[in-house]
Amino acid sequence: MIGYVRGTISHIMIDTCFVDVQGVGYRVFIASSTRQKLMLNKEITLFTYLNVREDAMNLYGFYTQTEYDLFLKLISVSGIGPKVALGMMSTITVEMLCKSISQKNITALTKLPGIGKKTAERLILELHDKMGFALTEDAPEALIIDTADHTDIISETSQALAALGYTQVEFMPILRKIGEIKSVEEAIRTVLKEFARR
């Protein structure tokens, strides 16, 4: 199996990128969280998973070992293939996904693409005791923001931004940096201003 690829990013698409490794371009499927960290013509190392089928060999890449480990755990669950797992990781942050599973939050899981109630129940049954690996180094800020007094504001803000077409992977890093949030309107304005600067 290909453990990782290191090369220059030559193309970035919605769900894939090309990594140029000494003149050979590897097409790598990526989640939104990984895509946001990529820069054209910059060298990158991606942890990879090679999915071999009768009609294709697809390479999936991840910016961090934590994302890679979560991906492996997701595809170990019956009914969840690589594309569904990547779709889940593109819709919600790694921290929030792990937290939803560990806290048996079926409602949050069934909002993810390709996940119905039965699949959500299988995820919880098989993985809820295995999510601690992602709630350590990568998650302190996420846990703080969810357990603070303004949890309701964060929740309403998240729903409003999701309705506008944004994903948690895109807006949660901005919300974490705001600090004290006094209202949903203030939080939304701050996030949209940040998006406008990009």
- pTM exceeding 0.85: no
Query: Which amino acid is it at 95?
Result: E
Residue 180, token pair as written in the block = 């004290």
153-190 tens-digit pLDDT: 766 777 777 777 777 777 777 777 766 667 888 888 88
Give dist(CA 143, CA 179) in Å, integer.
Answer: 14
Please tell us whether the domain made up of 148-197 is placed in CATH 1.10.10: no
Q: Tokens 């939304």 — which residue?
A: 188
Could you list the beta-strand ranges (E) of the chain.
4-12, 16-21, 24-29, 43-52, 57-62
Which CATH number does 65-134 carry?
1.10.150.20
Name which residue leads in pLDDT, 130 or 117.
117
Ranges 11-25, 123-137, 162-176, most confident? 11-25
Range 4-62: architecture per CATH: Beta Barrel (2.40)
Write the secondary structure of 23-43 as one string of H (helix), E (strand) and C (coil).
CEEEEEECCHHHHCCCCCCCE
Where is 64: in which H helix or E strand? none
